[in-house]
């Protein structure tokens, strides 16, 4: 049981050089804007809760790119 992370709090020391995801962008290409996708309100609350939890433990970070 001690080799698995059961929450984001358990992964606080994770080195971003080992596990990180990057989105390759082509220079000079204009980004596409997708239309808004709506979801059920109960599901939306769960998604917001999960994202807030991941931000709180620095598991994810806000992108500053367009």
pLDDT for the residue 26: 85
Inter-residue contact 39 to 47 (CB < 8 Å): yes
Name every residue whose Cβ is closer than 8 Å to that of residue 53 and which is 6 or more positions away in sequence.
8
**pTM of the prediction?**
0.52
pLDDT for the residue 7: 73
pLDDT for the residue 56: 87
More confident residue, 32 or 66: 32
More confident residue, 30 or 5: 30
**Domain ranges across the chain:** 1-11+37-66
The 10 Å Cβ neighbour count of residue 53 is 14
Q: Residue 8: is it exposed, middle or buried by C-beta count within 10 angstroms (0-12/13-18/19+)?
A: middle
Residue 57: name the closest of 4, 1, 5 by CA: 5
pLDDT for the residue 45: 93
At 6-26, the pLDDT tens digits run 776 777 666 767 767 777 888
């Amino acid at each position: 049981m001690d080799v698995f992370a059961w929450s984001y709090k358990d992964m606080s020391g994770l080195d971003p050089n080992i596990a990180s995801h990057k989105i390759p962008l082509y220079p000079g290409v204009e980004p596409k804007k997708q239309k808004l996708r709506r979801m059920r309100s109960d599901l939306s609350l769960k998604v917001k809760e999960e994202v807030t939890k991941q931000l709180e433990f620095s598991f994810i970070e806000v992108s500053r790119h367009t």
